[in-house]
Amino acid sequence: MLKNILNIKKDKVFFISITIIIFIIVIFLYKSKQDYSHNYDVDILIKNTTILTLNENSQIINDGWIAIKENRIINIGNNDIPFKNPKTIIDGKGKVAMPGLVNTHSHIALTLLKGVDDDSNLSNWISNINAYEKKLSENDVYWGSLLGEIEMIKSGTTTFNDMYFFDDKRIESINKTGIRAVIDIPFSFENNDLIINSEFLEKYKNEPTITFSIAPNPLINFSKEKLIKINEIAKNNDLLIHLHIEENRNEKNEFLKIHNLTPLQLISNAQLFNNKIILAHSINFTNDEIDYISKQENASLSFNPKSNIKLTGQTANIKHFIDKNINIGLGTDSSASGGSLDIFDHMNFIAFSFRNCDNNNSCEQDNKPIISSENIIKMATINGAKTLGLESDIGSLEVGKKADIILINLKNIGSIPSYDIFSNLVYNTDGSDVSDSIIDGKIIMRDGILKNINEKEVIEQVNLISKKIKSLK
């Protein structure tokens, strides 16, 4: 009798357990179906393409697809596509999808002054360019910025880090084109008090593609005490510090005369390395100084070799920066110094110029690149993003990151055949091969046509401005 009762109880427990398990499975299946159906809601699907992820393993996905919802990448895969009704489909057959390029140092509206003084050395160039810059109006800077942004977008750049003036006009141009940018904020000193325009920061704090830096320039004009104040403001407002430093061979002597400190000692004494900091140019650091910089985890180099060679005949000691594992982003500097704003052009220049070859006798045996094609591409993407402190959002194609993606046509004659994508992109491709650009989840360029801006109107306006500039000569 007791045995029977126990058996009935056992059966009852078994029955309840099975019911609970089935219930959990049904709920689980229902939930996963819901999540899956949620994924059908895709804004943009790029398909049939080779994906250069630039993730930690530099994974390349063949016949791949990328799904974008709002401004983020929500899924990446290959072969079967689990999305039925994307709002927009981009067929990437014969193309490479890669992260948008990051330009870590520019002076955007200097597009207006390209070619006005190409044959001067740095000090003459700066004084000549400054004389022209004083005559530029807000409106000129607006059109010059648009011109630069169009050149950048058409050649694959989706983010630039800019140092210039007339900030409202630069921001207006950025909102017009839809590019992503880091903009240096306006500030001044009155009786040694640092004045920043907090209304400016408040007004623009929610811009979807804009973040901010502070750029004490020229650095030689700032005392240690002033730099300490700049550092505090940077810390309190989450600003990058963006510096021109060691841009010419005489800079150390000039700083020693005025500050009794080298440029590196000055910024180090002012504790600037406590903040995220970009050292643009840096052609004249000694190996000991580069060793010191390598111990500052917030510091990155913005490498601008074309501009530096043109104006000084010298570049940053890139081999030592690499050997010391310092993060390096690529910069164009301005159109008036570095030539084009096409990052492919600058990557190509690095690949051809920086071989491990310092004299004619050893060249033949040791003429390997100091930096591989893959690492040059990283410099222009994920490492550029790290330079700007934006690596959690951009710089690689990964689920959860913002959708800043470019497509490059490898069907063009100069890119055929393709054995190694990194090599092909660095040695054989240029900005004119970029066909599509998506920034912050929005299609900014499709099949070479800009979506947000009338290119012809910008060219006409810049031609009018150039007449005024010519008359200043």
By the criterion CB under 5 A, which residues form the site for Zn ion?
333
Smallest distance, Zn ion to C-beta of residue 457, A: 28
What minimum distance in Å lies between the beta carbon of 48 and Zn ion? 40
Q: For the chain, how many residues are written?
A: 473
Cα distances from 217 to residues 34, 73, 110, 392, in angstroms, run 54, 37, 16, 28
Strands 60-69 and 44-52: antiparallel
User: Whose Cβ is closer to Zn ion: residue 333's or residue 440's?
Assistant: 333
Residue with the CB atom nearest Zn ion in the bound state: 333
| CB distance 179 to 439 below 8 Å | yes
| Other CB atoms within 10 A of residue 209 CB | 20
Q: Least CB distance from residue 144 to Zn ion, whole Å?
A: 15
The tokens describing 203, both together, are 């007004």
Tokens encoding 444:
């900014």
Please state the closest distance from residue 106 (CB atom) to Zn ion, in A. 8
Q: Dihedral, CA atoms, 188, 194, 198, 204, nearest 10 degrees?
A: 50
Nearer to Zn ion, 231 or 308 (CB): 308
Q: Which two tokens stand for residue 459?
A: 């060219």
- If phi over 0 gives left and psi between -120 and 50 gives alpha, with beta otherwise, what is residue 86? beta
Cβ proximity to Zn ion, 86 vs 148, nearer residue: 148
CB of residue 336 to Zn ion, shortest distance in Å: 10
Q: CB of residue 331 vs Zn ion: minimum separation in angstroms?
A: 7
Q: In the complex with Zn ion, which residue's Cβ is closer, 117 or 333?
A: 333
- Rank residues 289 and 333 by Cβ distance to Zn ion and give the closer one: 333
Taking phi first (over 0 means left), then psi (-120 to 50 degrees means alpha), and beta for anything else, what does residue 94 get? left
Question: Smallest distance from the beta carbon of 107 to Zn ion, in angstroms?
Answer: 6
Nearer to Zn ion, 167 or 333 (CB): 333
Among candidate residues 244, 180, 188, 190, the one with its CA nearest the CA of residue 212: 180
Shortest gap between Cβ of 386 and Zn ion (angstroms)?
20
Burial class (CB in 10 A: 0-12, 13-18, 19+), 359: exposed
Question: Measured from the CB atom, is 217 or 432 closer to Zn ion?
Answer: 217
Minimal distance in Å, beta carbon 221 to Zn ion?
15
Q: Indicate the residue among 107 and 378 with the shorter CB distance to Zn ion.
A: 107
Give the phi and the psi of residue 165 in degrees, each rounded to 5.
-135, 180
Is the backbone peptide bond immediately before 417 cis, with ω within 30 degrees of 0? Answer: yes
Return the number of the residue (140 or 247) whose C-beta is nearest Zn ion: 247
Of the candidates 210, 186, 208, 209, the residue with the CA atom closest to the CA atom of residue 198: 186
Chain centroid offset of residue 410 CA: 23
Cα-based angle 302, 211, 335 (whole degrees, multiple of 5): 45
Q: CA 147 to CA 430: how far, in whole Å?
A: 19
